[in-house]
Amino acid sequence: MSIILDGLKYLAYILIFPGFLFCFLSGLLLCGIDRKLVARMQKRVGPPILQPFYDFFKLLGKETIIPVTANRTVFLIAPLVGLAAQVVLQLFIPVFSFNAFHGVADVIVILYLLLIPALSVILGAASSGSPYSGVGLSREMVTILAVELPLVLVLLSVAKAVGNAMGTGLCFSLTDIVNYQLSHGSLITKLSMIPAAVAMLLIIPGETGSHPFDAAEAETEICEGMLAEYSGKPLAVYKLSHAVKLLTMTTLFVALFLGGIGGGIERAMMTSAIGGAFCFLIEIIILFLLCTCLVAVCISFVHAVTARLRIEQLFKYYWTVVTGLALISLVMAWYGL
């Protein structure tokens, strides 16, 4: 009996919250907000906020064309695997006190799960056989390489900072990181974590491939690069998975640095039974608002004010400026500042 219940519970996690349904709704909504914000910053009217939803459903209705040179299987499977991995990644990131999957060291797991969606785009692009996709995937891979080093440093410094505070020396569990923040306040209030938080803010546009770090998808230059050959349903899936990536990266930031914000509500609401459910709802809303703020700051704003970097400039930027910031944080956390 309990196995069935557990199974149902996990099914609900995967399908509804924080799985597919939640990802689908809030990811596309974030995407729409982002587009609207950029448009307003550029003094345009911009599309309606629900435009990504319309785009998504319209793409679903379009014909799917597979190029003759493509490897059919990989071409079609890659987007689905990417989306699945993206959603699984979302399951690993705690929403304040709620966590769908516990891992022993899910910080490293997340590092690797972040690779899978990108890898699926790369493989799908490679399998199409298009030269534009070739250029696009090469740039995407370099972007991944560029982002990976600062991201590793950020995650390790957070793990070290929380580990120090908890007395265990290291803490690779996101659940513990968030729980620590719930009881001790957000990590961003710590001096040593501020450079890491800034680095993470700079990593988010790189990971999601938005301006100025969108060399891989440069529409005006290489025709959306890796997506050049995609159309119809697979393209819709890619667009969705990109939208979910916005959500994932921002929730990851919230979990790493702003986890303490849920603490107040938690304590206020834990007293009553209905309060539990209500508090949960509030937490989700707060999470979404935080995500929106983050998108506004590090994606929309940066998008509106910058121009695209060349790929080698992008690499250099990440391995010098952002890595430097993360390294400062790591060293400070290491010596217990």
Partner 1 sequence: MSIQHFPICAIMAYFLGAFLIVIFGKNRALRNVFGFLATATPLCLLAALVKPIMLGSDVIAYWMGNRVPAGGYAIGIALEVDALGLFFGLLIATAVFVAMLYSFSYMSHDDNEPQYYTLFLMLCGGVMGFVLSGDLFNMFIMIEILTFAAVALTAFRNTANGALEAAFKYLVVGCIGSSCILAGTIMLYAQAHTLNFAQLAAFLPGHLNRATIIAYAMLFIGFCTKAFIVPFHPLAADAHGAAPAPVSVLISGVLTKSGLYGIIRLTYILFRVMNLGTVQFWLVFLGSVSMFVCVTMALAQHDFKRLLAFHSISQIGYVLTAAGLATALGVSSGLYHAMNHTLFKGLLFLCAGAVLHETGTTDLGKLGGLSKKMPHTTILFLVGAFSISGVPPFNGFASKWLIYQATYQKAVESGNIGFLMCTIVALVTSTLTLASFVKVTQSVFFGQLPKEYENVGEVSIGMRLAMGILALLCILTGLFPGFVTTYLTEPAARAVFGTNTYVNAMMGTGYAQGFGLTDILPVSFQAAGVWSPISWLCLLMIMLLAVAIVAVSSKYDQVSALAKAAAAAEAAETKAGPRFGSGALAEAKNELFFGGEESVYSQVGGDDLFWGFKHNWRHYFSFMHELHSGIVNDYALWGVIALALAMLYAMIIL
Q: Which residues in the 14-43 window bind partner 1 by CB under 8 A?
A: 14
> According to the binding rule CB under 8 A, does residue 112 interact with partner 1?
yes
72 touches 128 (CB < 8 A): no
Task: Write down the residue that tokens 């309060």 correspond to.
Answer: 275
Interface stretch with partner 1, choices 134-142, 176-184, 192-200, 298-306 (CB under 8 A): 134-142
Interface stretch with partner 1, choices 45-53, 262-270, 280-288, 315-323 (CB under 8 A): 315-323
177 touches 185 (CB < 8 A): no
* In the complex, least distance from residue 136 CB atom to partner 1, rounded to whole angstroms: 10
> According to the binding rule CB under 8 A, does residue 165 interact with partner 1?
no
Draw the binding track, 294-313, toward partner 1 (x: CB under 8 A; -: no contact).
----------------xxx-
Residue closer to partner 1 (CB basis): 102 or 267 = 102
Residue closer to partner 1 (CB basis): 50 or 312 = 312
Among 21, 39, 49, 142, binds partner 1 (CB under 8 A): 142
> According to the binding rule CB under 8 A, does residue 156 interact with partner 1?
yes
Residue closer to partner 1 (CB basis): 163 or 260 = 163
Residue closer to partner 1 (CB basis): 90 or 186 = 90
Q: Which two tokens stand for residue 249?
A: 């990266």
> According to the binding rule CB under 8 A, does residue 203 interact with partner 1?
no
**CA–CA separation, 206 vs 319, rounded Å?**
12
Interface stretch with partner 1, choices 29-37, 70-78, 206-214, 258-266 (CB under 8 A): 70-78
Which residue, 1, 21, 6, is CA-closest to 247? 21
> According to the binding rule CB under 8 A, does residue 281 interact with partner 1?
no
> According to the binding rule CB under 8 A, does residue 170 interact with partner 1?
yes
> According to the binding rule CB under 8 A, does residue 144 interact with partner 1?
yes
Of residues 80-109, which lie at the interface with partner 1 (CB under 8 A)? 80-81, 84-85, 87-88, 91-92, 101-105, 108-109
* In the complex, least distance from residue 139 CB atom to partner 1, rounded to whole angstroms: 6
* In the complex, least distance from residue 265 CB atom to partner 1, rounded to whole angstroms: 27
* In the complex, least distance from residue 330 CB atom to partner 1, rounded to whole angstroms: 8
Among 94, 163, 195, 225, binds partner 1 (CB under 8 A): 163
Interface stretch with partner 1, choices 68-76, 179-187, 257-265, 283-291 (CB under 8 A): 68-76
* In the complex, least distance from residue 108 CB atom to partner 1, rounded to whole angstroms: 5
Distances (CA, A) of 160 to 49, 144, 196, 197, 289: 40, 24, 12, 14, 28
